[in-house]
Structure 1
Amino acid sequence: MKIRQIFISLLFALVAVSSFSMATEEAQSHHESNSEQSVEKKPYESKSVSQLAGSFLETTGLYAIFNTDDGETTSDPAGASKERPMGAFESSLGRVIMILIVFLLFYLAIAKGFEPLLLLPIAFGGLLANIPLAHMAGPEGMLGVIYNMGIANEFFPLLIFMGVGAMTDFGPLLANPKTALLGGAAQFGIFGSLVGAVMLGFDLQSASAISIIGGADGPTSIFIANRLAPDMLGAIAVAAYSYMALVPVIQPPIMRALTTKEERRIQMGVQRKVHKLEKLFFPIVVLMLSILILPESTPLIGAFAFGNFAKESAVIDRLSDTMQNSLINIVTIFLGLGVGSKLAADKFLVL
């Protein structure tokens, strides 16, 4: 009998608790619905045309350029840890200067033909990076995503080297190995640039990154700059490719000054025919030497050697053709836009 009474009491208690909780939920939902209705019933505050125009103006990039106290921060692919409040010069006049520089690069690439394949994407990336309030170079912006995807991890330069290797024919070099000494001239340019950069006050790491410009090698300049001086990547890339484009302008007067007219008329003779096995083994030998002598160069040399080996093997023509055309073209677009992210005023114009 007692057990029955206890069971009935527990049942009534359970029903009471359930009823109370249901009532509470209903009251809360009723309160929320009343709140929503009160919000919905809030009268609309009309604005004048001048107020609407003012609100719109505050969201424009033009307003951000002239208003240097808007609290805008710099954009960096590395994220908030590398970002800082923009200075008055960087957010206003600096952006204007960089946009003018970008249009100068457009002119050089289109009208003068200065390395347009990469200079044009770099310039366009620089234009996007200097748009106020867009944060295109931030970690979630288009340029920031591209930069982190293939430049921060040095992947894009390796793909470029792979494509260059697939396009290179070492036949003339193998037929006349003495011409390899001509490549030593690039080292004079590198060390000369290194000394000059140090004399101008750059630290050794920055000077080392700058010095690769003297070798007239764009992908290597980007690769080394990203390792040693990431903040100078944009300036180094623009300088390297501009210098490469100026080689046809610089070389002729130097050649005329150092050679006679008779020497310039010398006809290069036909060299011996290079056997296919020589071309096939050459990239492997170069790769082995790089591993033994300078292992840190293996990423670049390895990518280059693979591209050349694929070409000379003549059994994977589809892959070789892809590396020579589609792959290198796509990577060039991304590489240029990613490097262009470093042409933002807060990174390029450092006072």
Structure 2
Amino acid sequence: MEYLLDFWGNTGFGLADYRHFIMIAVGIVFIYLGIVKHYEPLLLVPIGFGILMGNVPVFKGLGLGIYESGSVLSYLYFGVHQGIYPPLIFLGIGAMTDFSYMLAQPRLMLLGAAAQVGIFLTFLAALAMGFLPREAASIGIIGGADGPTAIFLSAKLAPHLVGPIAIAAYSYMALVPVIQPPIMYLLTTREERLIRMPDPRPVSRREKIIFPVIGFLSCCFLAPAALPLLGMLFFGNLLKECLVADRLALTARTALIDIVTILLGITVGASTQADVFLTAKSVGIFLLGAASFMVATASGILFAKLVNVFATNKINPILGAAGVSAVPDSARVVQLVGNREDPGNYLLMHAMAPNIAGVIGSAIGAGVLWSFMM
């Protein structure tokens, strides 16, 4: 009996407490949302399974936990807490993104800039709630709905909060189809949602090749701290558009980004160990993240309505919701809402302009916050 009791005490069942089972339930919910509801399955399925891996109780000192030096998971997690994975994700995003929608309609870029208001308002709210400045800056970036940027900034400024910030950012990215439509309906009239946008002008190949260079230099001279993210984003896009490095562009937007997404998802999920993750700060981060994302969505919509006061060519204000960085899900949600009002209204190509601008804007916002916290 003594041996049986010793064996039981060495198992996960004997080592677990209620917090582990809460986190395991959260992991199962993430997997369910990814598989059954198709909410960002490429992110939620790895993160959900990583949460399961991180919440199987193990003995300290065996080199198994993600926070134990020398463990396999800690080596894989190195790419998260040193900010290596996010720039590689940005490289893949750049290699699969067509910037021509943004170049054809420059005024829609302003909607992406306006949506970044959520980042700075949440930064101030986090400070008011008692978070340290570096923690508040990391939390604020959740409003951009940009998981890689949130991970990158928190790894640099508040590494102890990477887990809850990453989970919050990716959760709200996955819930874009749930969170954004009610805000669109609340802030716009049916007449506004029926506005049809003119066809964008054709963009030449020369413009597509020149823009990554000009865009990179302009953005990084403005916010040098954003260089690792924006450098890889614009480099990936140059590989795509130059047409002489197809193999590199193909690798960046397929094999490389898939491998990095798997590693990032599993390790971010595993970092949510119950004894580290379930704290009052984590709850505050989730609440602030939700508020930040909703404010960012509302800011883009309200700015579009403001532009319409002075513009002769009206902007469909729901395009402002695509100003957050959840590419391309926010643009798809705009298309679905617009198409529901008018089946012949195609807004996807227009929504991609503020959506791409939002990616760039959130990276610049992260660079600005990082430079102020140095």
Asked whether the two chains share a fold, i.e. TM above 0.5, the reply is: yes
Q: Assess if the C-alpha contact under 8 Å between 1:114 and 1:242 holds in 2.
A: no
Partner residue in 1 for 2:57: 132
Deviations 1:121-146 (A, max 9, x none): 12211211121226331233232110
SS at match of 2:116: helix
Deviations 1:57-93 (A, max 9, x none): 233121223xxxxxxxxxxxxxxxxxxxxxxxxxx23
Deviations 1:99-153 (A, max 9, x none): 22222222332233332211221221121112122633123323211011x1122
CA distance in 2 between partners of 1:57 and 1:256 (Å): 55
SS at match of 1:120: helix
Asked if 1:230 corresponds to 2:159, the answer is yes
Q: Which letter does structure 2 place at the counterpart of 1:103?
A: I
Asked if 1:145 corresponds to 2:96, the answer is no
CA distance in 1 between partners of 2:100 and 2:220 (Å): 23
Report how many residues are paired. Answer: 275
- Within the candidate set 32, 35, 40, 1:107 is matched to 32
Q: Which letter does structure 2 place at the counterpart of 1:128?
A: M
CA distance in 1 between partners of 2:28 and 2:34 (Å): 10
Greater length-normalized contact order (CA 8 Å, ≥ 6 residues apart): 2
CA distance in 2 between partners of 1:107 and 1:225 (Å): 27
Q: List gaps (5 residues or longer) in structure 1.
A: 1-49, 66-91
Asked if 1:275 corresponds to 2:213, the answer is no
- Within the candidate set 257, 279, 282, 1:328 is matched to 257
Aligned-pair identity (%): 47
Q: Assess if the C-alpha contact under 8 Å between 2:81 and 2:162 holds in 1.
A: no
Q: Which letter does structure 1 place at the counterpart of 2:206?
A: L
Larger displacement relative to structure 2 (161-170 or 184-193): 184-193
CA distance in 2 between partners of 1:258 and 1:291 (Å): 34
Q: Call closer, same or farther: CA 1:254–1:54 in 2, change over 3 Å.
A: closer
Output aligned runs, 1:136-175, within 5 Å.
136-137=65-66, 138-148=68-78, 150-175=79-104
Deviations 1:226-254 (A, max 9, x none): 11111111111111111122222232232
SS at match of 2:126: helix
CA distance in 2 between partners of 1:191 and 1:272 (Å): 34
Q: List gaps (5 residues or longer) in structure 2.
A: 281-374
- Within the candidate set 11, 18, 23, 1:98 is matched to 23
Partner residue in 1 for 2:309: none
Larger displacement relative to structure 2 (331-340 or 132-141): 132-141
Larger displacement relative to structure 2 (277-286 or 50-59): 50-59
The alpha carbon displacement at 1:289 in A equals: 1.6
Deviations 1:18-67 (A, max 9, x none): xxxxxxxxxxxxxxxxxxxxxxxxxxxxxxxx3443343233121223xx
Deviations 1:151-193 (A, max 9, x none): 1221111100000001111111111110110112322111121
Larger displacement relative to structure 2 (325-334 or 127-136): 127-136
CA distance in 2 between partners of 1:259 and 1:329 (Å): 37
SS at match of 2:28: helix
Q: Assess if the C-alpha contact under 8 Å between 1:102 and 1:124 holds in 2.
A: yes
Q: Assess if the C-alpha contact under 8 Å between 2:82 and 2:156 holds in 1.
A: no
4+ residue segments displaced more than 4 Å: none
Q: Call closer, same or farther: CA 1:315–1:283 in 2, change over 3 Å.
A: same
Q: Assess if the C-alpha contact under 8 Å between 1:143 and 1:337 holds in 2.
A: no
CA distance in 1 between partners of 2:184 and 2:57 (Å): 47
CA distance in 2 between partners of 1:248 and 1:211 (Å): 21
CA distance in 1 between partners of 2:53 and 2:138 (Å): 25
- Within the candidate set 204, 217, 229, 2:146 is matched to 217
CA distance in 1 between partners of 2:95 and 2:51 (Å): 30
Q: Assess if the C-alpha contact under 8 Å between 1:209 and 1:229 holds in 2.
A: yes
Q: Assess if the C-alpha contact under 8 Å between 1:144 and 1:341 holds in 2.
A: no
Q: Which letter does structure 1 place at the counterpart of 2:153?
A: I
Partner residue in 1 for 2:296: none
Q: Call closer, same or farther: CA 1:291–1:254 in 2, change over 3 Å.
A: closer
CA distance in 1 between partners of 2:38 and 2:109 (Å): 29
CA distance in 2 between partners of 1:119 and 1:185 (Å): 28
**TM-score normalised by structure 1 residue count:** 0.74
Q: Call closer, same or farther: CA 1:327–1:193 in 2, change over 3 Å.
A: same
SS at match of 1:343: coil
